[in-house]
Amino acid sequence: MGLEVERCGRILLVRMARPAKRNAIDGSMTAALDAALNELDDDPELWAGVLSGTPTAFSAGTDLVAGAGAATERGGNYGVVGRDRNTPLIAAVEGIAYGGGFELVLACDLVVAARTARFALPETARGLVANCGALFRTQRALPRNIATEMLLTGQPLGAERAWTLGLVNTLVEPGEAEAAALLLAERVCANAPVAQRATLRALADMVADEDARGWSATERAQRTVNMSQDATEGVEAFREKRAPRWNGR
């Protein structure tokens, strides 16, 4: 399964644990993430959640060999990025948050990152398109030109610059992200849960139309890419550990 779930008082700690795969998400992890976040939203005794990874990686995104499995009814892709959540969720990032891993971060409400963390969207380097919310959430979390650069070049953004640009709420030393995220979650839990949930609902309602347009635009982009020879070549090149040979078709 590759997922560890722990209750810390009123906080649910959800830790991705496939270190050999840099926490790449396969079908079993998608199902497990969905179940964990269902628990977070459905249990009135849980007032905040923390999503973390291992010391060297938050998540490398989709397991391109095994696939990430089907989108879930409540959570969408990965069981997370399409979720209509009621309970605050904090990302605790060590190491890389690449591709779908960064899209998991963007789906959270707050971000704690180690100084050595890195964020990237390398999908176009594989002939693919970011299809789990990054096309619209990245430019919400970062200045538009920075978001566009990440999407078009695939180059990583370091945590210190991400903190300066406002993506990261709390910047900590390596190895401290999960503990710092739990402390932030405790501060969240010190406030009234009904008010917290109402606040999240209001924030979500204010961008609901924008999100709907974003998902529609993402689907159109994905359909275009899925019909291309470059998408097949990009994935094959990744599996064969060679440079892709693009033909632009």
Residue 118 belongs to domain with CATH number: 3.90.226.10
Is 109 domain-assigned?
A: yes
Q: Give the span between the Cα atoms of 17 and 3, in whole angstroms.
A: 5
Name the residue range of residue 156's domain: 3-175
Task: List, in sequence order, every residue forming a beta bridge with 111; answer none if it has no partner.
Answer: 91
240 is catalytic: no
Is 227 domain-assigned?
A: no
123 is catalytic: yes
Helices within 154-248 (DSSP H only)? 159-165, 177-189, 193-206, 208-226, 229-240
Q: Are 167 and 111 in contact (CB under 8 A)?
A: yes
pLDDT for residue 1: 65
Q: Find the mean pLDDT for residues 231-249.
A: 88
User: 88-146: per-residue pLDDT in tens?
Assistant: 999 999 999 999 999 999 999 999 999 999 999 999 998 999 999 999 999 999 999 99
Strands 3-8 and 11-16: antiparallel
Q: Give the number of domains in the chain.
A: 1
Is 224 domain-assigned?
A: no
Q: Find the mean pLDDT for residues 162-189.
A: 98
Q: Find the mean pLDDT for residues 224-239.
A: 88
DSSP category for residue 70: P
Greatest C-alpha distance within the chain: 56
Is 228 domain-assigned?
A: no
Q: Give the span between the Cα atoms of 173 and 12, in whole angstroms.
A: 23
pLDDT for residue 65: 80
Is 194 domain-assigned?
A: no
Q: Find the mean pLDDT for residues 30-50.
A: 97
For the ranges 35-39, 125-129, 162-166, 215-219, which has the lowest average pLDDT? Answer: 125-129
pLDDT for residue 171: 98
Is 237 domain-assigned?
A: no
Q: What is the 3-state secondary structure (H, E, C) of 152-181?
A: HHCCCEEHHHHHHHCCCCEEECCCCHHHHH
The Cβ of residue 104 has, within 10 Å, a number of other Cβ atoms equal to 29
Catalytic residue among 4, 6, 123, 219: 123
Average pLDDT across the chain, whole number: 95
pLDDT for residue 64: 80
Nearest to 222, CA basis, from 139, 135, 82, 128? 128
pLDDT for residue 214: 96
Query: Where does the pLDDT of residue 207 fall: very low under 50, low under 70, confident under 90, or very high at 90 and above?
Result: very high
Beta strands in 44-203 (DSSP E): 48-52, 57-59, 89-93, 96-98, 110-114, 118-120, 157-158, 170-172
Q: Give the span between the Cα atoms of 93 and 84, in whole angstroms.
A: 22
% of residues, the chain, pLDDT over 90: 90
Is 240 domain-assigned?
A: no
Catalytic residue among 4, 103, 219, 240: 103
Is 26 domain-assigned?
A: yes
